[in-house]
């Protein structure tokens, strides 16, 4: 019997075939998602305590350890799912590796000390939000250097007034669980290598913010109605949506606007996605559906990798030619792409077939995107064979990638036969 079709088989979140079950929205996918999230949480807890191992000799780590342990389990979990925490722990791991290689250890030690301070700040901000809501005045609040800060997840904003009194307000949210972040330091940062955060950071009006949230809510509602399990993916694996405005509609025509759209997932910030210029009227709800699903698929794959192991180790000298874009991309990005385009195809094809009331503009858009997704799967080569020989992937992952391609080829073979009939 095929284990993927047998609901009686116990869910094993370490099995890479679980990722295909999630992609196929199988009846077991909600259970798989729950178990995968739990494994990711445990992995992040282990990584945090590994980072805190030197707490007896480092004052910042000692304070971080004490503050974290004073949090309730719910607030500890909020820290652990924060993309800020994951980024800091990845930076710390990289800095430690540089220290081992460095001839002059001084610069590496300074870098590590700075990261320890960032780690303490993340945990302290979660505790400070609790203290404000409880009406407690603490040393952290009395000596905070800015008049505003955000929770590590990004869903709460703490503000102080002219008298020094602090208050907390909720950040706008998607589906009641995902914060939509317009204003935090994470959202307003500049990153030269980012397709979103390298763009101008223009102030967004309250009306534009409301437009963004309404559009994303509409996109999520349509995803829920089309493939309910995909709505679960988004709600469970994304905790923060960063929105950047870099273009004002008054500056040019719609053709110019279209060059300023974008979405992005960054591996060092799992649980977070980035959107560019979602406020513009020329960006459709259908495009938002694709962006949410595209980046959320990256995030559920990243959650599996955090909980288990990386699909493959990247060598910057070896890159795969993407059959979708033609670009040279890392091996890991190619593996993600196979899942991403498969899931987006399932979603948009299901949405297209769900109603006869789509107007011609929407139909043309969806058909164009489906053709783009389909093209990469219909090449003659087997997709996993495109990975270079030096790239070792597990036999199970090889099989999953091949099954995805065969499924797509089967869909379009049937379509061709039906069209000929």
Q: Which of 304, 301, 299, 296 is nearest to 219 (CA)?
A: 296
pLDDT at 348 over 50: yes
Q: Return the HEC string of 190-214.
A: CCCCCCCCCCCCCCCCHHHHHHHHH
Starting at the edge strand found earlier in the chain, the sheet holding 173-174 runs 173-174, 178-181, 240-244, 272-276, 262-264
pLDDT at 185 (0 to 100): 95
Where are the chain's structural domains? 310-421
**Is residue 220 classed exposed, middle or buried when 0-12, 13-18 and 19+ CB atoms within 10 A define those classes?**
buried
pLDDT at 181 over 70: yes
What pTM does this model have?
0.92
pLDDT at 419 (0 to 100): 60
User: What is the enclosing helix (H) or strand (E) of 272?
Assistant: strand 272-276
Structure tokens that stand for 260 in this block:
């300023």
pLDDT at 12 (0 to 100): 86
Tell whether the torsion through CA atoms of 151, 238, 314 and 330 is positive or negative: negative
Q: For residue range 366-390, what is the model confidence (pLDDT) as tens digits?
A: 999 999 999 999 999 999 999 876 5
Residue 406, number of CB atoms within 10 A of its CB:
13
- Rg from Cα positions in the chain: 23
Least confident of 53-57, 140-144, 232-236, 303-307: 140-144
């Amino acid at each position: 019997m095929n284990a993927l079709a047998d609901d009686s088989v116990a869910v094993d979140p370490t099995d890479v075939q679980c990722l295909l079950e999630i992609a196929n929205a199988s009846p077991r996918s909600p259970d798989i998602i729950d178990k995968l999230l739990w494994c990711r949480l445990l992995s992040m807890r282990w990584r945090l305590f590994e980072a805190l191992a030197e707490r007896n000799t480092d004052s910042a780590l000692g304070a971080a350890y004490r503050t974290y342990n004073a949090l309730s389990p719910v607030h500890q979990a909020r820290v652990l799912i924060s993309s800020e925490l994951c980024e800091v722990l990845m930076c710390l791991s990289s800095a430690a590796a540089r220290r081992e290689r460095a001839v002059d250890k001084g610069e590496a030690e300074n870098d590590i000390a700075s990261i320890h301070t960032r780690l303490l700040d993340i945990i302290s901000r979660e505790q400070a939000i609790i203290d404000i809501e409880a009406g407690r005045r603490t040393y952290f609040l009395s000596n905070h250097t800015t008049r505003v800060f955000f929770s590590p997840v990004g869903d709460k904003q703490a503000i102080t007034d002219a008298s020094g009194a602090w208050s907390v307000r909720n950040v706008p949210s998607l589906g009641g669980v995902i914060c939509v972040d317009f204003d935090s330091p994470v959202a307003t940062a500049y990153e030269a290598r980012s397709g979103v955060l390298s763009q101008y950071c223009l102030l967004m009006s309250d009306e534009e913010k409301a437009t963004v949230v309404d559009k994303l809510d509409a996109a999520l509602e349509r995803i829920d109605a089309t493939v309910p399990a995909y709505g679960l993916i988004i709600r469970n694996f994304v905790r923060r949506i960063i929105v950047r405005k870099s273009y004002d509609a008054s500056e040019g025509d719609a053709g110019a606007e279209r060059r300023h759209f974008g979405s992005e997932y960054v591996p060092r910030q799992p649980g977070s996605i980035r959107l560019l210029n979602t406020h513009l009227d020329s960006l459709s709800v259908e495009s938002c559906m694709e962006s949410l699903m595209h980046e959320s698929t990256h995030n559920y794959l990243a959650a599996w990798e955090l909980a288990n192991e990386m699909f493959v180790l990247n060598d910057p000298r070896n890159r795969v030619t993407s059959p979708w874009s033609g670009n040279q991309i890392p091996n890991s990005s190619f593996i993600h792409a196979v899942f991403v385009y498969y899931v987006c195809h399932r979603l948009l094809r299901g949405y297209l077939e769900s109603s006869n009331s789509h107007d011609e503009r929407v139909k043309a858009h969806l058909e164009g995107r489906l053709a783009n997704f389909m093209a990469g799967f219909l090449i003659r080569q087997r997709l996993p064979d495109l990975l270079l020989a030096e790239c070792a992937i597990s036999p199970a992952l090889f099989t999953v990638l091949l099954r995805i391609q065969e499924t797509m080829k089967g869909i379009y073979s049937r379509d061709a036969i039906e069209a000929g009939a």
